[in-house]
A and B are shown apart, each in its own frame.
Chain A
Amino acid sequence: MDIFNHLLFGLGVAFEPVNLLFCFIGVLIGTLVGVLPGLGPVAAISLLLPATFHAPPVASIIMLAGIYYGAMYGGSTTSILVNIPGEAASVVTCFDGYQMARQGRAGPALGIAAFGSFIAGTLGVIGLAFFAPPLASVALKFGPPEYFSLMVLGLTVLTFLAGSSMLKSLMMACAGVIIGNIGLDLVTAQPRFTFGLNILLDGVGLVPLVMGLFGISEVLLNVEEKISERDIFKTELKGLLPTLKDWKESLWPMIRGSVLGFFLGILPGGGAVISSFVSYGVEKKLSKRPEEFGKGAIAGVAGPEAANNSATAGAFIPLLTLGLPSNAVMAILLGALMIYGMPPGPKLIHSHPQLFWGTISSMYIGNLMLLVLNLPLIGLWVRILKIPYPILFPLICLFCLIGAYSLNNNTGEIGLMLFFGVLGYLMKKFKYDGAPLVLAMVLGPLMDQSLRQSLLMSGGSGWIFFSRPICLVIFAAVAVIFLLPLIPLFGRLRKTVSEADES
């Protein structure tokens, strides 16, 4: 019953006018960035992060979370109408959603995507409320060696799933650890890799780094492309409410997708993307008419859409209970929580219950808001899809510039952001993935700290990581992940997810 009391407390927090407003702004922006191809939730959260420094922390996290799950909703619109996924997790929705639109069934496709997302989001939030507190209690027993090994696991899984080459992703993780440790050493206060620049003494800020890597680099890549008109499928958007037959075909895929998505979302690394692919595969296998998949099967929209939404709720579990981000968005949220003075971890539930339960409950309200935003306003989103890129990209640049400057009222931060913009541009050209770099950059100082503490505890022996049962299990999992690409099935899965991420 405690859970329900906590959820009621959370609802009280979420229903405060300021939190409701921020939740609405979050899901609205989330839907917007989900709809606009070329601007994903990572970039949007990076752009808005500095603006939240002037707002209450709980409201800010509610808004940033809203952007994340809102983008999953919005992403389906472009997949169905334009055959271009608004973000990576919506790639699978293109397969059957666009085919449905071609057959004049864009309405039911959009409708079932919205309802599937709503049901999954709701189930995900309930799962989050049930699973997070017990995990946080277990995590209270974790010491520095367990944390270090968990961070190694997180980075390993992300490098396994991210990008086209595991080798390059590992290189980016190393680069991220190095960048994360720029600045004054926590123990000796010795400056490291600052090159005499005062701006680097406090370390490289998360905001200029992510804005550069995901915002500016994307602009540079897009402006050098020759413009091509987006071909929006001209079909009348009528009958958004799915028929009884549609519901019959979609209900179980939605439920299966929700459960799959939630548990896959907990795992570090690309939860929403991988869960949508797995859900699609499962539905095709279980279907009585698998030959219809890829030709407009509604179950092929309902399952993956449900999976990618509940995965976003699942992704909050390792962040809020262990303080470990499972993907780039969660890494930015981790940074944000630290800036707000609320470091996530097992103590967060007790030290900041309003943040923990308020955020969870707001996700439920946010899902309701999204349903209202997505169905009746679908015409508006379609019109927004038509905003030309020549108008859009200067605005993205402007948000990046203001965001970077407002951190310390220092143009040096803009310089730092532009540096990472060029780095991100080159990384994309040379096919290096940015997500492991961001995750490692956020985890870098924490890894440094927990590694040093572990070695101090053990008197300098690395055996401590193998003599403690939890560490041993985690490192065994790390070893398994490195061996997985050798198994053809996992090799194929990894390739598929990487291709979706790149697209």
Chain B
Amino acid sequence: MRNPDQTSGLFWLLAGTGVALTSLQYGFGTFVSPGAGFITFFAGTLLCLLSLILLISTWRKQKAQSRLGDLWKGLEVWKAIYVLGLLVLYALVLQTLGFLVSTFLLLTLLFRVKAQYALTRVVLLSFLISVWAYLLFDVWLKVQLPKGILERIF
């Protein structure tokens, strides 16, 4: 794909087609008695049509538009991917490690993504925030946060 609008237009065209076809499987029904897929069929079809208009309009003026790679030019993309990876990892280990341990580890790593603070400062800050968040949400607001390994140890 040559430019961002063509790429995204194609994505939404495929998504809209998929939604419209799947809606037909759920049952369009009739106009008197609409089925489960009635409104999603129309939304999917309209999405297809609008995507087609976007694709056609960008096709005509593609020379004037930026390229897909320009969207990430001069940026530290790996940092965004790294942060996202950490958040996914957090979701995966939260039940096992528990809130306090996983939050402490997550914050320690996140605080060093954008700045090189001293490790002792980062560790202390992460510890204090983890405990504060636990007290606020679990103890005061009664959100049942997972205890994880700490429950087994103590």
B14, CB-defined interface residue at 8 Å: no
Cross-interface CB contact of B114 among A192, A223, A459, cutoff 8 Å: A223
- Interface positions, chain A 216-234, Cβ under 8 Å from B, are 216, 219-221, 223-227
Q: Is the CB of A394 within 8 A of B111?
A: yes
Q: Which residues of B contact A389 (CB under 8 A)?
A: 114
A177, CB-defined interface residue at 8 Å: yes
- Interface positions, chain A 410-451, Cβ under 8 Å from B, are 411, 414-415, 418, 421-422, 425-426, 429-432, 444, 447-448, 451
Decide: A192 near B36, CB < 8 A? Known: A394-B107, A405-B94: yes
- Bitwise, B3-39 to A at CB < 8 A (1) or not (0) is 0110110001001100100110011001111111111
Classify the secondary structure of A's interface with B.
helix
Cross-interface CB contact of A393 among B19, B44, B110, B145, cutoff 8 Å: B110
Cross-interface CB contact of B36 among A168, A188, A393, A462, cutoff 8 Å: A188
Complex-state Cα separation, A192 to B28, whole angstroms: 12
Q: Is the CB of B39 within 8 A of A390?
A: no
Q: Is the CB of A171 within 8 A of B51?
A: yes
Q: Is the CB of A221 within 8 A of B80?
A: yes
Complex-state Cα separation, A398 to B125, whole angstroms: 13
A406, CB-defined interface residue at 8 Å: yes
B62, CB-defined interface residue at 8 Å: no
Decide: A167 near B110, CB < 8 A? Known: A402-B143, A455-B31: no
Q: Which residues of B contact A223 (CB under 8 A)?
A: 76, 79-80, 83, 113-114
Distance from A55 Cβ to chain B, minimum over Cβ atoms (Å): 8
- Interface positions, chain A 382-417, Cβ under 8 Å from B, are 388-391, 393-395, 397-398, 401-402, 405-406, 409, 411, 414-415
Q: Which residues of B contact A295 (CB under 8 A)?
A: none
- Interface positions, chain A 137-178, Cβ under 8 Å from B, are 167-168, 170-171, 174-175, 177-178
B144, CB-defined interface residue at 8 Å: yes
Chain B CB within 10 Å, residue with most, of A50, A171, A389, A460: A171
Complex-state Cα separation, A432 to B54, whole angstroms: 12
Decide: A393 near B133, CB < 8 A? Known: A175-B47, A220-B83, A224-B75: no
Cross-interface CB contact of A456 among B5, B23, B32, B145, cutoff 8 Å: B32
Q: Is the CB of B114 within 8 A of A390?
A: yes
Q: Is the CB of B95 within 8 A of A411?
A: yes
Complex-state Cα separation, A122 to B70, whole angstroms: 47
Q: Is the CB of B107 within 8 A of A398?
A: yes
A237, CB-defined interface residue at 8 Å: no
Cross-interface CB contact of A397 among B15, B23, B32, B83, cutoff 8 Å: B83
Distance from B114 Cβ to chain A, minimum over Cβ atoms (Å): 4
Q: Is the CB of A54 within 8 A of B50?
A: no
* Chain B residue, CB-CB nearest to A415: B91
Q: Is the CB of B54 within 8 A of A54?
A: no
Q: Is the CB of B34 within 8 A of A451?
A: yes
Q: Which residues of A contact B61 (CB under 8 A)?
A: none
Complex-state Cα separation, A207 to B27, whole angstroms: 29
Q: Which residues of A contact B35 (CB under 8 A)?
A: 188
Distance from A180 Cβ to chain B, minimum over Cβ atoms (Å): 9
Q: Is the CB of A192 within 8 A of B47?
A: no
Q: Is the CB of A225 within 8 A of B117?
A: no
Complex-state Cα separation, A448 to B7, whole angstroms: 30
- Interface positions, chain A 458-478, Cβ under 8 Å from B, are 459-462
Complex-state Cα separation, A398 to B50, whole angstroms: 37
B152, CB-defined interface residue at 8 Å: no
Q: Is the CB of B76 within 8 A of A224?
A: yes
B88, CB-defined interface residue at 8 Å: yes
Q: Which residues of A contact B143 (CB under 8 A)?
A: 50-51, 54, 402, 405-406, 409
A308, CB-defined interface residue at 8 Å: no
- Interface positions, chain B 66-113, Cβ under 8 Å from A, are 71-72, 74-77, 79-80, 83-84, 87-88, 90-92, 94-95, 103, 106-107, 110-111, 113
Decide: A225 near B107, CB < 8 A? Known: A192-B36, A390-B115, A402-B143: no
Q: Which residues of A contact B133 (CB under 8 A)?
A: 398, 402
A181, CB-defined interface residue at 8 Å: yes
Q: Which residues of B contact A220 (CB under 8 A)?
A: 80, 83-84
A190, CB-defined interface residue at 8 Å: yes
* Chain A residue, CB-CB nearest to B18: A193
Q: Is the CB of B31 within 8 A of A462?
A: yes
Cross-interface CB contact of A167 among B50, B91, B141, cutoff 8 Å: B50
Q: Is the CB of B111 within 8 A of A448?
A: no
Residues of B within 8 A of A (CB): 4-5, 7-8, 12, 15-16, 19, 22-23, 26-27, 30-40, 43-44, 46-47, 50-51, 53-54, 57, 71-72, 74-77, 79-80, 83-84, 87-88, 90-92, 94-95, 103, 106-107, 110-111, 113-115, 117, 125, 129, 133, 137, 141-146
User: Can you give 7 A-B contacts (C-beta < 8 A)?
Assistant: A170-B50, A178-B19, A223-B80, A390-B117, A393-B110, A394-B113, A422-B84
* Interface pairs A-B: 9 shortest CB-CB: A460-B31, A460-B32, A390-B114, A394-B110, A390-B115, A185-B36, A174-B47, A414-B91, A406-B143
Residues of A within 8 A of B (CB): 50-51, 54, 167-168, 170-171, 174-175, 177-178, 181, 185, 187-188, 190, 192-193, 216, 219-221, 223-227, 388-391, 393-395, 397-398, 401-402, 405-406, 409, 411, 414-415, 418, 421-422, 425-426, 429-432, 444, 447-448, 451-452, 455-456, 459-462
